[in-house]
Amino acid sequence: MNAKITATAHYVPERVMTNFELEKLVETSDEWIRTRTGISQRHIAAENEATSDLSTKVANSLLEKRGIPAEEIDIIIVCTVTPDHFAPSTAALVQNNIGATNAWGFDLSGACTGFLYGLETGSKFINSGKYQKVMVIGVDTMSSILDFTDRDTCVLFGDGAGGAILEPTESGSGIFDSILHMDGSGGHFLHVPGGGSRMPATVESVQAKQHYIRQDGKKVFKFAVKGMADVSERILKQNNLTGDDIALFIPHQANKRIIDAAANRCNIPAEKVLINIDFYGNTTAGTIPIGMNEAVEDGRIKDGDIILLAAFGAGFTWGSILMRWDAS
């Protein structure tokens, strides 16, 4: 029994921060950010807006689009590295906000690959035959861990959420292959040093800005190009597919140059590659479900289409998923 996506939704905070605004905060330029990353603007959460708020908007929209009451949801998986709290989980907050009284769930920390980890996990629950409706949300409020005096990171990220409902299908469509990886030896190249049990928050750690995200961009770039291209190429090959068979490639949006390199390696032409990094920046676990929902709403994804997803992120984590779309 495959799992298929029966509804998609996304939400981004109202406030838009342009590259020109960042020029006033750090030594950077709109030209540098656009040419090095492809980003023109990003959305930033309001002061009273947290990850569960973004997720709840997506969850309610998913229920409305699918036309089902919250009581029908069996499991809620919130993929995020920026939860509201360590405890309770963001999933529990979303469960309460939407009134999913029959659901259990959990948060999943897979960074930029979070939504792919979530889809894989959710689809296995569906495969088991025990669960009928699993909600998977990819969401990050990156502004909550961004140091707006650090140009190496603050120009890259944004806030946003997207999600999907997974349900069983007997038609052979839906998610039909996945390759997922993790290599913890790369952890220190992209991390948040403080705030966990390794370095609990103290006045000193906060003053030393240990609770912000830090990245060795050049190192991560090299691994990301190789990781995303390898895993995309491999999943096509092991399914006897080529770039021509793919209707749409939805890659994680960290850098347009990484996306172009992965698409080139798989011979996927530019018109079949979803790129929205210009508008949102890198929303970490949010990028793929945001892109997927935009593509569904624009009619770029139709029933029968083969869709390739690929991501690379902190951990390191990376992976790819193939599915045949069947929303009917």
Residues identified as active-site: 112, 252, 282
Rounded to a whole number of angstroms, the minimum distance from the CB of residue 20 to ligand UT7 is 13
For ligand UT7, which is the closer residue by CB, 7 or 231?
231
Contact yes or no for 224/254 (Cβ under 8 A): yes
Residue 96 β-bridge partners: none
Question: Which one, of 208, 124, 201, 20, lies nearest residue 116 by Cα?
Answer: 124
Rounded to a whole number of angstroms, the minimum distance from the CB of residue 298 to ligand UT7 is 24
| Cα–Cα dist 179/39, whole Å | 28
Rounded to a whole number of angstroms, the minimum distance from the CB of residue 175 to ligand UT7 is 23
What residues have CB less than 8 Å from 26, skipping those under 6 apart?
A: 148, 149, 150, 151, 154, 155
For ligand UT7, which is the closer residue by CB, 195 or 217?
217
| Cα–Cα dist 47/43, whole Å | 13
Rounded to a whole number of angstroms, the minimum distance from the CB of residue 154 to ligand UT7 is 8
What residues have CB less than 8 Å from 280, skipping those under 6 apart?
A: 12, 41, 42, 43, 158, 160, 253, 286, 287, 290
For ligand UT7, which is the closer residue by CB, 26 or 241?
26
Rounded to a whole number of angstroms, the minimum distance from the CB of residue 30 to ligand UT7 is 10
Signed CA dihedral, 189, 192, 198, 199: sign only: positive
Residue 106 β-bridge partners: 77
Residue environment code for 211-238, b if the CB has 16+ CB neighbours within 10 A, otherwise e: bbbbbebeebbebbbbbbbbbbbebbee
For ligand UT7, which is the closer residue by CB, 37 or 293?
37
In angstroms and rounded to an integer, the radius of gyration of the C-alpha atoms of the chain is: 19
| Cα–Cα dist 141/158, whole Å | 7
Residue with smallest beta-carbon separation from ligand UT7: 217
For ligand UT7, which is the closer residue by CB, 131 or 318?
318
Rounded to a whole number of angstroms, the minimum distance from the CB of residue 182 to ligand UT7 is 14
Q: What residue ranges bind ligand UT7 (CB under 6 A)?
A: 28, 32, 36-37, 112, 151-152, 155, 190, 217-218, 220-221, 224, 254-255, 258, 282, 313
For ligand UT7, which is the closer residue by CB, 7 or 190?
190
Q: In Å, how far from its chain's centre is CA 116?
A: 8
